[in-house]
Amino acid sequence: MLFASMNKHQRALLALALILPAPLIGGSSSFYLPSLQSANGDIEIGKAIWLLAKIWLIVLPVVWLLFVDGGKLSWSPTNKKGILAGLAWSIPFAFVIFIAYGLIRGSLIPPSAKHQVMELGITSPANFLIFASAMSLVNSLMEEYVWRWFVFSKFKILVGVWPAIVLSAFYFTVHHVIIVWNFGSLWLVFLGSISIFTGGIIWAWLYNKYNSIWPGWICHVAADTAIMCITWRLITA
């Protein structure tokens, strides 16, 4: 069999080659591919590709673990120190995000950003609560699962701990740039990239230290919750 003849470094490289393009393709398609008109209405090609990319990101790591690496599924348990570390990092993360918003909201966030956010259909409190909960709790968990458990772990096999932390954070940042680019100025993209890259560094470091996605996820939830609070402020301003 193909995988049986490969060593762990070759398998790790192939895993990264299969997963790293997916978020970039999905995000780019969602924002930039136009709808196609048909007799039955518009066909949202970009959103369909985005959905397929999301499914790929969820399914591939599990399939790879079970059928390529021969591993077993786990809830990625952590200990009390890991939980406390995640909580401890949450406070400065949320604080920095709120301070940064206070400093840049009048100069770097264009008026069009509010219109783009409102087009998401999340202007009612109930809809926004559902959206914010999904982004803060579910999407952050999926990102820890993909970027820390899978991507970082594969890079670690290839290049060691600290290069893997940096590389996983870099690729984590790249696909977010597409999102930030659609809601802000070039300076906001630059500052947002630095913030996302820093988050990727710390969350990968937490994963490596505690061998669990949960410490990083706790901190990630705090960061995304702060962003959702700012988003609601943008909607209601």
Specify whether 108 is located in the same domain as 149: yes
Task: Report pLDDT for 42.
Answer: 63
Specify whether 104 is located in the same domain as 62: no
Last residue in a domain, options 22, 55, 73: 73
Specify whether 108 is located in the same domain as 195: yes
Q: How many domains does the chain have?
A: 2
Last residue in a domain, options 42, 73, 104: 73
For 170-213, the pLDDT digits (tens) are 999 998 888 777 766 677 788 889 999 999 999 999 999 999 99
In this structure, are residues 152 and 144 in contact, taking their beta carbons and an 8 Å threshold? no
Specify whether 204 is located in the same domain as 88: yes
For 15-34, the pLDDT digits (tens) are 999 999 999 999 888 877 76
Specify whether 26 is located in the same domain as 85: no
Task: Report pLDDT for 187.
Answer: 77
Specify whether 24 is located in the same domain as 111: no
Specify whether 9 is located in the same domain as 104: no
Phi, psi of 74 (to 5 degrees): -145, 155
Specify whether 180 is located in the same domain as 202: yes
Cα radius of gyration (the chain): 19
Last residue in a domain, options 73, 98, 124: 73
Specify whether 148 is located in the same domain as 188: yes
Specify whether 207 is located in the same domain as 235: yes
The model carries a pTM of 0.91
In this structure, are residues 33 and 27 in contact, taking their beta carbons and an 8 Å threshold? no
Residue from 10, 19, 11 nearest 68 by CA: 11
Structure tokens at 121: 């259909």
- The mean predicted confidence, pLDDT, of the chain is 89
Q: Which 3 state secondary structure label does DSSP give 78?
A: coil
Query: With a cut of 70, which residues of the chain have pLDDT below it?
Result: 1, 34-43, 106-114, 183-185
CA distance 206 to 220: 11
Specify whether 84 is located in the same domain as 157: yes
> What residues make up the domain containing 142?
78-237
Task: Report pLDDT for 37.
Answer: 54
Task: Report pLDDT for 34.
Answer: 65
CA distance 175 to 24: 5
Specify whether 143 is located in the same domain as 208: yes
Task: Report pLDDT for 120.
Answer: 74
